[in-house]
Amino acid sequence: MNPQFSSSNVVRLSGVSKTYRVGATDVKALDGISLSIPSNRFSIVIGASGSGKTTLLNLLGCIDAPTGGAVEVCGENVTALSDDTLADFRARNIGFIFQNFSLVPVLTAYENVEYPLMLLGMTASTRRLRAMAMLEAVGLVERAHRFPNELSGGQKQRVAIARALVKRPTLVLADEPTANLDSATGASIIALMRHIQAELKTTFIFASHDAQLIAHADEIFSIRDGALLEHRVGTKP
């Protein structure tokens, strides 16, 4: 597999491997993966459970470090950055959407969306403007002041999407974003993400088994046993 490197690549992996130590055994989660993803793409990583999808997303999200190779995100070689610099880098450039929504339970929907903007040191008025606009985009303005435990699964994921996108990141990583949702809600969430991606020109990378999601992907990366098996362009550009 020859990755297509270009200056507009949001993500570039070169011979990346990741080995975990479980007891006395070394477990290879990723094995020499090289790939690149240009900006403004709706990409998906597919593979069986334990194939290394989540590990790959963790490396792209700069929340884990490879044991070999280089990871470049938004033009920056992130493998050499310190923990604090990585945290700041994530705050500026990367949005996360998790399978279990992972909203801060003591914050309202509005406050959850506002949180990433606070980390960027934005003023209260800017935060308010942006957070409300984002909540409006995901259709949750009326529930802005509800706490996560007062929202349905679909609503929680909409808040998570708003939180991921409110800072207008270059890259959004979503790990099984529809896994905990029924198919109708999942479809609406996918449509929402696709719509926002097109509008904000943000690069989305998913790890998922969801056929609906695969159907919407611009490009699909298939991995097995930690190795990149196939890279193909999606059916619905």
Residue for token digits 């097109």? 198
Q: Is 176 in the site for other proteins (CB under 8 A)?
A: no
The values of phi and psi at residue 199, to 5°, are -75, -45
Q: Is 90 in the site for other proteins (CB under 8 A)?
A: yes
- Of 113 and 196, the one with the shorter C-beta distance to other proteins is 113
CA–CA separation, 154 vs 14, rounded Å?
36
Identify the DSSP state of 92.
Answer: H
The single residue among 68, 88, 141, 209 that binds other proteins, judged by CB under 8 A, is 88
The values of phi and psi at residue 107, to 5°, are -110, 145
The single residue among 42, 96, 110, 206 that binds other proteins, judged by CB under 8 A, is 96
Q: Which amino acid is at 169?
A: P
Q: In what order do the strands lie in the sheet with 94-97?
A: 94-97, 171-175, 203-207, 42-46, 219-224, 227-233
The single residue among 119, 129, 198, 229 that binds other proteins, judged by CB under 8 A, is 119
| Residue 137: strand, helix, or coil | helix
Question: Rounded to the nearest whole angstrom, what is the least distance from the CB of residue 163 to other proteins in the complex?
Answer: 8
> Which residue stretch of 41-49, 55-63, 134-142, 192-200 sits at the interface with other proteins (rule: CB under 8 A)?
55-63
Binding site for other proteins (CB under 8 A): 58, 61, 63-64, 83-84, 87-92, 96, 98, 100, 102-107, 111, 114-116, 118-119, 163
